[in-house]
Structure 1
Amino acid sequence: MYRIGVVNFAGGTSDWEQLQTIIPDNWELFQIDNEKKTFCDLIVFLENSLEQVGEICGQLIQMKNETDSLIWVWSTFQIEMNRMVYLKLGADGVKTENLKLEEWLLIIDNALKRKQTMKKSKPEQTIQENNCDGFVLNHRNRSVIINENEEVQLTNLEYKAMDLLFKNAGKTVTYEEMYQVIWDGEESKDRKFYRISNLIFHIRQKFVQEVGSSDTIRTVRSKGYVLHV
């Protein structure tokens, strides 16, 4: 079963309804909530109006940084410049009226199968230090497995943060250390604090939603965070 996430901006619903009627049986289709990111094999941006181009570009850049999912734009327009912009920003393709549905479905199906085969061919990564008293960092799925059966899906940035905390379990990881590992850039101290705090907030929210508690990641006032397991 492939998980297909759809980003449907404020516009018409005809494309979304059309997608629902033509998807293969092994596709699980759902609309992506930007506040609650989840793992998916393919992300489809529905371009319903030209006013959405800028928003799509911003979301596309963010998704490329946070996930290794395939990304396509489903466009109702035939504007070559827009297609080139999407492709340059990292989209795997742009679906327009010139590309028949049957052909598009075959292209996507082949890409998903190839992606799945590549995952299976990679040796399972197991790092003992990332297994802490019932918490396991799953490298292949970019997730945290709790008590052997609760799995919390992470974005690429969230995975980097959890990987660093796991490697330093029981020790305080400073805001500066986290920022350099995750973003490796130069920003003001306040900006670094905000980005790290916001990232940890989203991870904690996922822990609350999936396992009912966020106590695993504790704040060390004015310093950073510690993974408590």
Structure 2
Amino acid sequence: MYNIGIIHGRVSEEEIGMYIEEGNLNCFNTVTIDKNNLSAELENKDAILIFPNNVDSEVAEICQLIMEIKMNSESFIWVVSKIYDEKKRVVYLQLGVDGNISTECSPRELQLIVKNALDRKSTYENQSVSQKDGTKSNESLPELNEKNLSFVAEGEEVPLTRTEYRLFKLLLSNPGIAFSYEELYRKVWNKPYKNEKYRVSNVVFHIREKLEEYSLSPNHIKTVRSVGYMISE
């Protein structure tokens, strides 16, 4: 069963509960997310549904939520709004949500949109695992250049910040072995870990962006759910 996080903004929980029940969204494991503990609440969530009240004063809060979700998880994100507001919808899409849905859309339609996307992702991930098990990847691991604070992969040299370099070097030191968020934080920042998962996720996010920018596979760094990250062998 898929795990769906619900963020209700300023819409009442009762109203959202009726919408969920009507659309048979209870076929998912739906959980209300505490916005004040967002990074921890995002663990093991396959998708996030945000229900804003669509007042202008709420837009900044919704944008901040979207950015934090993108930084700390790989969950699908949909914004479910009562009012069609093109400007807000475009802003949310620019921040990376997977879609805007109006409550004029039937709850059943929303349920199918979410289910179809998650089913497709699950099928793709299963196929990728099968292909990896059946054939040995020809993709070589990146080579680090400590002098330039960069790495070279497939003939491309990619510049990194000092923190990105330290984290990537640590992951590359043991391909196929998962490093926890705590271990990565302590060894890269040389500080005690106080649930700074978001800092680790942010650095990994930027490394993956650079991999994609240079047409390299961001899948070099694999997310290990509820644990941390590892380099794919």
TM-score (normalised: structure 1) = 0.56
Match for 2:126 among 105, 120, 123?
120
Q: Does 1:46 align with 2:51?
A: yes
Paired position in structure 2 for 1:84: 90
| Letter of the 1:56 counterpart | I
Q: What are the within-5 Å matches in structure 2 for residues 142-221 of structure 1?
A: 158=181, 162=183, 164=184, 173-175=187-189, 182=204
Q: 1:16 to 1:181 in 2, by over 3 A?
A: closer
Unaligned runs of 5+ in 2: 134-171, 192-198, 208-225, 228-233
CA distance in 1, matches of 2:83, 2:203: 40
Q: Does 1:101 align with 2:142?
A: no
Paired position in structure 2 for 1:210: none
Once superposed, which parts of structure 1, at least 4 consecutive aligned residues long, lie more than 6 Å away? 124-128, 176-180
Residues 6, 43 of structure 1: 8 Å contact kept: yes
CA distance in 2, matches of 1:174, 1:93: 36
Q: Which has the higher helix share?
A: 2
CA distance in 2, matches of 1:11, 1:99: 17
RMSD: 3.7
Number of residue pairs matched by the alignment: 156
SS of the aligned residue for 1:112 comes to helix
Match for 1:67 among 54, 73, 90?
73
CA offsets 1:75-99 (integer angstroms, 9 cap, x no match): 1111111111111111111111342
Paired position in structure 2 for 1:13: 13
CA distance in 2, matches of 1:44, 1:183: 22
Unaligned runs of 5+ in 1: 139-143, 145-157, 166-171, 186-205, 208-229
CA distance in 1, matches of 2:15, 2:88: 18
CA distance in 2, matches of 1:173, 1:6: 34
SS of the aligned residue for 2:178 comes to strand
CA distance in 1, matches of 2:120, 2:101: 20
CA offsets 1:146-165 (integer angstroms, 9 cap, x no match): xxxxxxxxxxxx4xx65x47
TM-score (normalised: structure 2) = 0.55
Q: 1:128 to 1:122 in 2, by over 3 A?
A: farther
Identity %: 25
Paired position in structure 1 for 2:28: 27
Q: 1:95 to 1:18 in 2, by over 3 A?
A: farther
The alpha carbon displacement at 1:64 in A equals 1.1
CA distance in 2, matches of 1:60, 1:181: 17
Q: 1:128 to 1:24 in 2, by over 3 A?
A: farther
CA offsets 1:145-186 (integer angstroms, 9 cap, x no match): xxxxxxxxxxxxx4xx65x47xxxxxx72427997954769x
Residues 20, 107 of structure 2: 8 Å contact kept: no
Moved more, 82-91 or 18-27: 18-27
